[in-house]
């Protein structure tokens, strides 16, 4: 298994030159940037001359008349740079969840054919964010979002011993919201959050980790205890461990899905490899 992981890493590094253009074109930009002109001490975002990162687990979908238990993840970041004449802010946020609780997003690599439905929300454009905007809110981020329902049909081919030979998927995307205004609101104490998007029931859950710092984060860093801002071989190894996984099949991790296409593949690995040892 160790040799297989090394081979996957080597393959990614060797193909970076050929795939870097593809990865760059295919991947959604990690940050969307906006400019807030002429900041004043009272302007939203002026106090946040820093970087904020939040990672949480989604547990409830506030559907009517009662809430629906769900399983999912959310990752959101904002960066603010205050200049003498303007404030430049960068935003990134995405969420993935499913109400198919019998098969979580992180599931065994099934050997039988099956169909799986999950939901995804992606921040298209950030408008503003603020730290401690009120006594009851620790962090607030506003922007426009797209939301989809994604149904994937898995066709699994195995040999006589049950070893997986190939996995073929067919996906159907149904738009639930397009360019809809939405907010990520983290309650005071950084324990819970709510994701509210127009036209879609709100989602709530628990904050697992958050960082507030004046330094820039490494977008490929999976942990919250590192001070490194460079992509490292350890980051590549983390991707290799989840290589091939998708929501509902394998150890899918939203934090490793840099291309945001809901599967961990060569696009994600080559994107990270192309930035190896760079800040």
Q: Convert the pLDDT of each residue in 26-64 to its tens digit.
A: 334 456 666 655 444 444 444 445 788 899 999 999 998
Using 50, 70 and 90 to split pLDDT, how confident is the model at 222? very low
- Residue 10 located in a structural domain: yes
Confidence of residue 255 (pLDDT cuts 50, 70, 90): confident
Average pLDDT of the residues in 264-278: 80
CA-to-CA distance for 126 and 142, rounded, in angstroms? 6
How many domains in the chain? Answer: 1
Any domain includes 244? yes
User: For residue 135, what are the domain limits?
Assistant: 2-274
Return the pLDDT at 90: 83
Helix, strand, or coil here: 2? helix
- Assess if residue 279 is contained within a domain: no
Domain membership flag for residue 247: yes
Q: Which of 211, 207, 92, 200 is nearest to 141 (CA)?
A: 92
Does the global pTM surpass 0.85?
no
Question: Greater confidence, 165 or 8?
Answer: 165
Mean pLDDT to the nearest integer, 146-163: 95
- Residue 183 is predicted with a pLDDT of 97
CB of 263 within 8 A of CB of 150?
Answer: no
């Amino acid at each position: 298994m160790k040799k297989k992981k090394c081979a996957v890493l080597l393959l990614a590094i060797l193909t970076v030159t050929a795939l870097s253009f593809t990865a760059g074109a295919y991947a959604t930009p990690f940050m969307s940037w906006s400019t807030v002109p002429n900041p004043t001490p009272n302007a939203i975002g002026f106090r946040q001359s820093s970087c904020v990162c939040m990672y949480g687990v989604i547990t409830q979908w506030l559907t009517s008349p009662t809430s629906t238990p769900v399983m999912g993840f959310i990752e959101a970041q904002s960066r603010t740079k205050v200049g003498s004449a303007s404030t430049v802010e960068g935003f990134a946020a995405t969420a993935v969840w499913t109400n198919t609780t019998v098969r979580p997003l992180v599931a065994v690599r099934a050997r039988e054919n099956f169909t799986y439905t999950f939901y995804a929300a992606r921040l298209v454009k950030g408008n503003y964010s603020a730290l401690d905007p009120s006594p009851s809110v620790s962090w607030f981020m506003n922007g426009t979002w797209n939301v989809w329902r994604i149904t994937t049909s898995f066709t699994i081919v195995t040999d006589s011993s049950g070893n997986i030979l190939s996995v073929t998927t067919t996906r159907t995307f149904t738009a639930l919201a397009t360019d809809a205004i939405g907010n990520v609101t983290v309650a005071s104490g950084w324990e819970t959050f709510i994701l509210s998007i127009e036209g879609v029931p709100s989602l709530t859950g628990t904050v697992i980790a958050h960082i507030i710092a004046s330094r820039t984060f490494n977008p490929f860093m999976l942990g919250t205890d590192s001070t490194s801002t460079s992509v490292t071989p350890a980051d590549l190894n983390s991707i290799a461990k989840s290589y091939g996984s998708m929501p509902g099949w394998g150890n899918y991790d939203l934090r490793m899905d840099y291309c945001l296409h809901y599967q961990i593949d060569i696009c994600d690995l080559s994107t990270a490899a192309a930035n190896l040892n760079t800040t």
